[in-house]
Amino acid sequence: MTRQNALLRSGKGMGTPSAARKKVPHVAVVKPAPAPEREDHFALRKGVRCAGVHLIIDLHGAKGLDDIDLIEATLRRCVAAARATLLHLHLHHFQPNGVSGVAVLAESHISIHTWPDAGYAALDVFMCGKADPDACVPVLREAFKAERVEVNEILRGQAT
């Protein structure tokens, strides 16, 4: 007899739900700043106002793509170079090789997926506000000793 079946037979947990509410700590409601004083964190790129700059970066002939410590350090250097704010960094090391991960930023994110056997890595660098996503490109080229780097740019949420 499983524990779940035993609980169902005993009738425990089957009563009428309590109407009593748990005490929730008081949460202060802050009045939003007036619109002219609030930053919208949009970016300005070559005179175009947009929600953010999204760089699609392909590294070819790259080295160290299975070195999770190198990848973590490189993502942290990218964040610093771009003058962004790191909120969370998560990496996963696949077996037999390869790494996928994301650096979650206040300004958006940097993600990486590597194929060490092919010497290839795919990265997304998406940033809004005053962060500088272009600053990540030389950091990535140097850290992974890429023979070739391809960068495609998308201006997300262009204001009309």
Residues 6+ apart with CB under 8 A from 1: none
Q: Both tokens of residue 136?
A: 């990540």
Q: Both tokens of residue 10?
A: 């005993």
- Which candidate in 50, 54, 78, 108 is catalytic? 108
Q: Catalytic annotation on 136? A: no
- Which candidate in 50, 54, 78, 128 is catalytic? 128
CB 50 within 8 A of CB 158: yes
Q: Catalytic annotation on 108? A: yes
Q: Catalytic annotation on 18? A: no
CB 63 within 8 A of CB 121: no
- Which candidate in 41, 93, 109, 113 is catalytic? 113
- Tell me the HSE value of 63 on the side-chain side, using a 13 A CA sphere: 4
Question: Catalytic residue numbers?
Answer: 108, 113, 128
